Every structure is written in C-alpha cells, then in structure tokens.
C-alpha cells in the first residue's frame, strides 16, 4: 500500500514509521520545513524510545520518506492519513479543527484514483462529515472515501502500542474503504489485534470516550488519595485492593499530581463541549475536568504545607517536568502549575528532567535548570518528585540527603509514590507522598 501521512508529529511520525515497518511505502508530510529537514538528517524532533532506529531503518530500506510538499504523495497514495494537531481552541476549549480542515483542503486538490482519506487526529463527532464536505466541494470529481481511524498510542510506549494495539477502530460505511483499511493493518492480524469497524461518528466518539474514561479513573483515585490522607488509609493499598478486581483492573489507578499531556486535558474538554452542544451534558466528565484542573495547583500547596507552611526564600528542587516519563512532551504537564504555584509563594525553583528541559526552558524561563538529580538537590530545602522517570526510582537517598540543605530533616515530596515512606524516613527525610497518611508512614517506619 502507498500511504501519505499528513503531519509528522508524535502520532504521524510514529504511525508513519510503524506502517513503513509493516512493509508499506510511506511519505510523511509536514508543513514545518525545519522538522522535515531534521528528519531527513536523521534527527528526531521528539524523544520517543526506539523511534530513531525505526525511522533510520525504514528510510534505509526506501519505505519511508519525509517531505514538505503534499501533492505528489497524495496523488500516489491509496490511503491519506490526517495526523495533524487538534489543540484546544482559545476561549471555549472546543477542539481547534483548523489544521484538520486546512489539510483536507490541501488533500482535495491532489487526489487521484480511489483514495481513502483517514482522520487519525482526535476529532469531535461529525468532523469526518465536514472533511468529506470540504473535499467534495473542492474536488467534486474525486473518487474518495473519508474514514475515521482514531489513534490510541501512548507517548513513551508509542511504537509498542502502535504495533500491538488492544484494538483498531475503523469508522466507515464504505466497503471499498474498509478493504483498504484492512489491508493497511493486515500485518497486525498476525498479532490478532481486533479490528472494530463502526460507522464514522461512532469511531470518532469512541476515542473521546476512551480518554474520558481513563481520565476519570485517574481522577477517582486522586480523590480517594485525598480521602486516605484525611482518614489514615493508604491509597497504594486501596488501589491494589480494587485493581485486582478484574472488572476494575490495575491500570490508571496511580494517585499523583493530576493528569496532563497532549491528550487528556484537551480531549476531556472537547468532549464536554460536544456534549453540551448536543444538549446532553456529561456531568461526570465536567467534574473530572474541574477536579483535575484544581489538583495541579493544589500540589504546589501540598509542597508548601510539607515545608512547614512557607517556601518564601527556600529552594525547592523538582525532579521530572514532562507530563509522564519517556517523553519530552511538556504540553499541559502538572509541573507547569506546580512551578507557578511555588514561585508565586516566593520559592526559588530548581529542576531537572532527563529529556524535557529544552521545552521546559521555553515555558518556564525563571527556573534554574540542573545537570542531574543530585545537582538539582544541592542545598535544596525540599525535593519534589513530579514525574516518575526510571532514573529517579533508585536514587542514592543517602547522597541525596547529604547534598540537600544542612538544616533539619529535608523534605521529600513524592508525588508519584515511588519511594517507601519508611526507608525515606530512615535516610533522614521528612517524607510526604500522595494518599499515604502520616500515621501510616510513622507506623511503617517503626
Ligand atoms: N500525542 C499523542 O500521544 C496522541 C495520541 C493519540 C492521538 N493523538 C491525536 O493525534 C493528533 C496529532 O497529535 P500530535 O501529538 O501528533 O500533534 P503534533 O503537534 O505533535 O503534530 C502535528 C504535526 O502536524 C503538522 N501539520 C499541521 N498542519 C499540517 C498540514 N496542513 N500539513 C502538513 N503538516 C501539518 C505540524 O507541523 C505538526 O508537526 C491530535 O489530534 C492528537 O489529539 C495524539
């Protein structure tokens, strides 16, 4: 199959590279010339484990190419995927579809022969109808079918997710388009990935429903964590106790600073708007959005409280800035709100992140960036683990303790619960986790 991928961001680049690796011939098109030049020079514009090697190998095999110009690749393609961004629209939070519609207009003029135009971007219900209208209006003679194929990959595990998906959702009512899509994903039949073929609107909504459900699961355990702190229970054990129930499952039950990233915040918001417009408000999702929003800033207050009620003049060291490990993505990361909250309260913030500091510098110029975790902790009054990078899971607590402020027990605020409260206490830290009551920490320390 010949495939054109419009947009070479996280989704377009990973999907394009994986589809090439399946044996298809893929051209990724991006409107940013620097991005394309960098890809053609073998440099990845994003950090994603394994991506550089996958791209290099498929470019070498002649199955993957990068261009800024769209017409030739689209004219030759059996399937054209739209994988451009759909950020929150300023003002009302609905998905900004301007990139999708621009891409549709550009594609329309270049179509030749039967082509399936596939929306891979996360788009609100009915967007496929509008994409189809745009294309038919611009090119009435085109032999085209517009399908939906939402993407469920996770940053940090994107290649594995794309190659071994739990399911593939294809939204089309057209047998020819379905046949093309089945051919695109044929290599995955070997892994027995279920293909769910639905109508277009159902596929579009399925993506939002999945993200809203996962966001709700995270928010649920975060609220349970708050309750645990008040009543002397341990959220880690509560999560395990409910997660072992097969009806619930253990994933997305890790209490923390609130969800962030390029998808959950904007997608939950867009779903709320879609539902309001449809006259069927999703009260549960509205609450999830509100609770999560206030939680990020609340984490700054949590740090301040752990520091005895004031951080004015104190140095607070943050480990991890990206919204999750194994990515350099800073979009809507909880660290942004936490840093702002701490700086507003008069703290001097120092930070270290293994991959995210380039992006972070642009967003948070007043932060002092360190070379590594220990340099970050040097002389600090409190150390806050914001993102659970593997590199932070087995820090030398003794060295860390000695590196930090020489005052009384320095504070370790573990927003991901990756350390055992008792051993942190043994190393001389005043430990503060999420959903782990002081009583529990004291009990397990004794
Ligand atoms: N990032 C994720 O983990 C993830 C997961 C699943 C779904 N999604 C969805 O996939 C879509 C893309 O997300 P992303 O994170 O890859 O975005 P991104 O911002 O990383 O990439 C989008 C790319 O599209 C390019 N672009 C925009 N308009 C273009 C045009 N007309 N022609 C050519 N290139 C164009 C941009 O230059 C950019 O490089 C979004 O709808 C998102 O919600 C993202």
Report how far residue 358's alpha carbon sits from residue 207's, in angstroms, rounded to the nearest whole number.
Answer: 30
Q: Mean of the per-residue pLDDT values for the chain?
A: 95
From 4, 6, 8, 12, the mutation candidate for ligand 1 (largest count of ligand atoms within 8 A of CB) is 12
Ligand 1 lined by 270 (C-beta under 6 Å): no
Please tell me if the CB atom of residue 85 comes closer than 6 angstroms to any atom of ligand 1.
yes
Tokens of 303: 């740090």
- Of 121, 129, 177, 173, residue with least CA distance to 149: 121
Which pLDDT belongs to residue 180?
98
Q: Residue 444 — pLDDT band, cuts 50, 70, 90?
A: very low
In this structure, the residue with its CA closest to atom 25 of ligand 1 is: 7
Mean pLDDT of 278-287: 98
The tens digit of pLDDT for each residue in 344-395 reads 999 999 999 999 999 999 999 999 999 999 999 999 999 999 999 999 999 9
- CB atoms inside a 10 Å sphere around CB 164: 12
- Cα distance from N-terminal residue to C-terminal residue, the chain: 64
Where do we find the tokens 């290099």? Answer: 56
Nearest CA to ligand 1 atom 17: 85
Q: 83-102 pLDDT, tens per residue?
A: 999 999 888 889 999 999 99
Ligand 1: nearest atom to the Cα of 329: 1
Q: HSE-up of 204 (CA within 13 Å, CB side)?
A: 22
Query: Is 432 an annotated catalytic residue?
Result: no
CATH 3.40.50.720 fits 200-446, yes or no: yes
Q: Does any ligand 1 atom lie closer than 6 A to the CB of residue 263?
A: yes
Atom of ligand 1 nearest to the CA of 32: 37
235-248: pLDDT as tens digits: 999 999 999 999 99
Q: Which of 18, 228, 263, 307 is catalytic?
A: 263
Distance 116 CA to ligand 1 centre (A): 19
Ligand 1 site, residue 127, Cβ cutoff 6 A: no
Provide the pLDDT for residue 441.
Answer: 47
Q: Does residue 161's CB lie within 6 angstroms of at least one atom of ligand 1?
A: no
- Pocket lining: 29 vs ligand 1, CB cutoff 6 Å: yes
Rg, the chain, Cα only? 24
Does the structural domain 2-198 have CATH classification 3.30.420.40?
no
Residue 68 Cα: closest atom of ligand 1: 33
Report the SS3 class of residue 144.
strand
Q: Give the pLDDT band of residue 443 (cuts 50, 70, 90).
A: very low
What pLDDT score was predicted for residue 92?
Answer: 86
Any ligand 1 atom below 6 A from CB of 119: no
Quick one: pLDDT at residue 438?
A: 61
Torsion, CA 415, CA 421, CA 424, CA 430, rounded to 10:
70
Q: What is the mean pLDDT of residues 24-39?
A: 98
Distance 264 CA to ligand 1 centre (A): 14
Q: What are the CA-CA distances from residue 282 to residues 66, 94, 218, 287 (Å)?
A: 41, 15, 17, 9
Look at residue 43 in the predicted model and tell me its pLDDT: 97
Q: CATH 3.40.50.720 spans which residues of the chain? A: 2-198, 200-446
pLDDT at 409: 86
Q: What does the DSSP 8-state code read for residue 282?
A: -
**Residue 117 main-chain phi, psi, to 5 deg:** -95, 120
């Amino acid at each position: 199959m010949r495939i054109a991928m419009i947009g070479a961001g996280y989704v377009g680049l990973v999907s394009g590279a994986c589809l090439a690796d399946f044996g298809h011939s893929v051209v990724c098109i991006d409107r940013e010339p620097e991005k394309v030049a960098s890809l053609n020079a073998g440099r990845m514009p994003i950090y994603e484990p394994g991506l550089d090697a996958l791209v290099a190998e498929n470019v070498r095999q002649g199955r993957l190419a990068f261009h800024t110009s769209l017409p030739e690749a689209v004219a030759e393609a059996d399937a054209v995927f739209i994988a451009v961004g759909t950020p929150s629209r300023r003002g009302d939070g609905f998905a900004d579809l301007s990139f999708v519609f621009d891409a549709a207009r550009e594609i329309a003029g270049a179509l030749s022969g039967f082509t399936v135009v596939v929306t891979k971007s996360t788009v609100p219900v009915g967007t496929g109808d509008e994409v189809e209208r745009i294309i038919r209006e611009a090119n009435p003679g085109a032999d085209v079918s517009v399908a939906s194929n939402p993407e469920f990959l996770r940053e940090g595990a994107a290649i594995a997710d794309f190659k071994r998906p739990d399911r593939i959702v294809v939204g089309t009512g057209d047998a020819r388009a379905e046949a093309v899509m089945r051919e695109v994903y044929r290599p995955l039949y070997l892994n027995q990935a279920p293909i769910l073929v639905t109508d277009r609107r159902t596929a579009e909504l399925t993506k939002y429903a999945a993200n809203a459900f996962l966001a709700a699961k995270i928010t649920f355990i975060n609220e349970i964590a708050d309750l645990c702190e008040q009543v002397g229970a341990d959220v880690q054990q509560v999560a395990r106790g409910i997660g072992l129930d097969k009806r619930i499952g253990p994933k997305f039950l890790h209490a923390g600073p609130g969800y962030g990233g390029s998808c959950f915040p904007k997608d939950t918001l867009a779903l709320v708007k879609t539902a309001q417009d449809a006259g069927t408000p999703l009260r549960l999702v509205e609450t999830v959005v509100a609770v999560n929003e206030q939680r990020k800033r609340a984490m700054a207050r949590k740090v301040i409280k752990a520091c005895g009620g004031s951080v004015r003049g104190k140095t607070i060291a943050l480990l991890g800035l990206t919204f999750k490990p194994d990515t350099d993505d800073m979009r809507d990361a909880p660290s942004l709100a936490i840093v702002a909250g701490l700086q507003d309260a008069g703290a001097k913030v120092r930070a270290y992140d293994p991959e995210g500091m380039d992006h972070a510098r642009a967003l948070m110029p007043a932060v002092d960036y360190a070379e590594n975790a220990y340099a970050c902790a040097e002389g600090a009054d409190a150390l806050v683990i914001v993102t659970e990078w593997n590199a932070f899971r087995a820090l030398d607590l003794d060295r860390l303790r000695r590196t930090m402020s020489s005052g009384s027990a320095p504070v370790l605020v573990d927003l991901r619960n990756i350390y055992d409260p008792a051993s942190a206490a043994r190393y001389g830290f005043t430990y503060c986790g999420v959903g782990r009551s002081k009583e529990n920490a004291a009990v397990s320390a004794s």
